[in-house]
Amino acid sequence: MKSKIGKVGFVIFIGIVLFFLLRPLVSETKDKTKIVFFGLGKADSIYIENGNKNMLIDTGLKSNKKALSLKLQALKVRKIDYLVLTHPDKDHIGAASYILDEFDVGELIQSAHIKETKREARIQKVVDEKKIKNTRLTEDRQLDLGDLTITIIAPQREEYKKDNDYSLLTLVEDGELHYLFAGDAEKELLEETLELDLPMIDLYKVPHHGRENANSEK
């Protein structure tokens, strides 16, 4: 399918690049969609809320666990409906076991690509102890978050050259606005995503914390 994004590539069409190291960016739309990009240095964690539903995408490093917990508490978060871990790198899932233990999490959504690490083992231990629903995506998943329609885009192939290309992508439909959060996707997955029948994207979270080489020239 031909992408509506076109060959101009991800960086040009977005109109905005979000890369904040020191403090969170809070964006609230007229229909009360709240998006928070937490300032966790070279690590990712994004909070999305609409109505009485919410989602946390990634949790940053293990060393970020208390800071992230306090930031969520400051937002009066007690329950997380969906925790999405885009891929198993330490700067994305490092604090996941702590957050799963500290908060009431409705469902954990992960990539089907598994790394046998102590981090993964800690996550699984908490999931088992608290009997948290744990979904590893092998195909796209659509869900409602208040008035938002969210599509978690699973990798289209079973094998990629780089582990980062197993990242889950998150597409948010907020009325006529569309937001795309790309995990740590690299050239192979990004080029594959360009072939999808996606809408025009109004806000795009650049992979790799905004590094300039995070996107292919295409």
Cα of 47 vs its chain's centroid, Å? 9
* Contact (Cβ atoms closer than 8 angstroms) between residue 123 and residue 96: yes
What is the structure's pLDDT at 6?
A: 39
CA dist 10 and 169 (Å) reads: 14
Q: Are 153 and 5 in contact (CB under 8 A)?
A: no
Q: How many Å apart are CA 209 and CA 44, to the nearest integer?
A: 7
- The per-residue pLDDT for range 44-81, each reduced to its tens digit, is 899 999 999 999 999 999 999 999 999 999 999 999 99
Which whole number is the average pLDDT over 14-37?
56
Q: Is the pLDDT of residue 137 over 90?
A: yes
Rounded percentage of the chain residues whose pLDDT exceeds 70: 79
Gap between the Cα atoms of 206 and 18, Å rounded: 7
| Mean pLDDT score, 13-21 | 37
Provide the 8-state DSSP code for 17. B
Which pLDDT value is given to residue 153? 93
* Confidence at residue 116, expressed as pLDDT on a 0 to 100 scale: 83
DSSP per-residue string spanning 29-51: -TT--EEEE---SSS--EEEEET
pLDDT at 112 over 60: yes
Q: Can you point out the beta strands (E) in 43-189?
A: 46-50, 53-57, 79-85, 104-111, 133-137, 141-145, 148-153, 169-174, 177-181
Name the pTM for this structure. Answer: 0.82
Distance in angstroms (rounded) separating the CA atoms of residues 178 and 172: 6
Identify the structural domains of the chain with CATH numbers, from first to last. 9-210 (3.60.15.10)
* Residue 185 confidence (pLDDT): 74
- Average the pLDDT over 133-144 and give the result: 96
Q: What is the pLDDT of residues 165-217, one digit of tens each?
A: 888 999 999 999 999 998 887 677 777 777 778 899 999 888 754 544 444 44
Tell me what the pLDDT averaged over the chain comes to.
82
Query: Diameter of the chain by CA atoms?
Result: 47
* pLDDT at residue number 11: 36
Between 40 and 176, the more confident residue is: 176
Q: What is the pLDDT of residue 134?
A: 98
Q: How confident is the model at residue 27 (pLDDT cuts 50, 70, 90)?
A: low
pLDDT at residue number 62: 95
